[in-house]
Amino acid sequence: MCARYMAEKVKENSEETKIDEELSGLNIKIRKKELTWIIGVMVFLIVVLFLTFYLSQSVNTFTYDTLKFEKQLYGEVPVYVYGYTFKDITGSAVQEYRYQLLLRLDPRKNEIPVTGEITLNTYGRDLYISVNTTGFDLCSTTSRDLATLSGFLTANLFDVHGGVPDKEAAREANATYITCEEYPQKTVLTIQTGEQSEIRKIADSCYQLTIANCETVNVIEKLEVQSLIDAKKRK
């Protein structure tokens, strides 16, 4: 009787052990499947994040005529940024500067025509800006845009001088009388209103910026971008 009981007990333990092993194996398979699923989800999320970043970068960066721009938000206002470095070799020691050109308009859509190559440093750092104020009365952003141009030139190490192209107006306002004829050995930018916005090279270092319909920002940003493109081509 005792021997029979023991045999049944051993058989029962053996069956329980077999069941436990089967359950253990099943649990291992389930855990492996869970682990595989978790790894798969993680890989999928990484791929999605990478693609999202890549696509956002592709959408926000573009090259316009050798200049690589990035679209950014300045607060809530979209701007287009081009960063570059340049060296000043005029001093006893070479100095390197970095500047970020910030545009309000997409340069790809700025269709202001440009006639002639723009070379602003033909006669060194002195640069004269002559503004004919007639016709700018209703243009609310003229002062801001002219200040932006002056800031761009100053940051690129030009010595900027301002004045007007009318001798009598210059005398009355105690301003500098500036024309291309008055300063033939200097770079002169003459800014005036007209029927069509355009940038035209009049002489070796004389440029005429004509602004129609208060497109001051269009013309000035076109001058900035085109001067960099032409400078890069010369290099």
Residue with the bigger pLDDT between 45 and 17: it is 17
Strands across the sheet with 187-193, in order? 114-115, 198-203, 206-211, 187-193, 126-131, 159-163
| Residue 75, pLDDT score | 86
Distance (Å, rounded) from C-alpha 42 to C-alpha 111?
A: 47
Stated pTM of the model: 0.75
**Confidence bin at 93 (pLDDT 50/70/90):** confident
pLDDT digit string (tens) for 63-86? 999 999 999 998 889 999 999 999
Return contacts of 174-183, CB within 8 angstroms, 24+ apart: 176/128, 178/128, 178/129, 178/130, 179/130, 180/205, 180/206, 183/128
pLDDT digit string (tens) for 180-233? 999 999 999 999 999 999 999 999 999 999 999 999 999 999 999 999 999 999
**Confidence bin at 92 (pLDDT 50/70/90):** confident
Q: Taking 50 as the threshold, does the pLDDT of residue 55 lie above it?
A: no
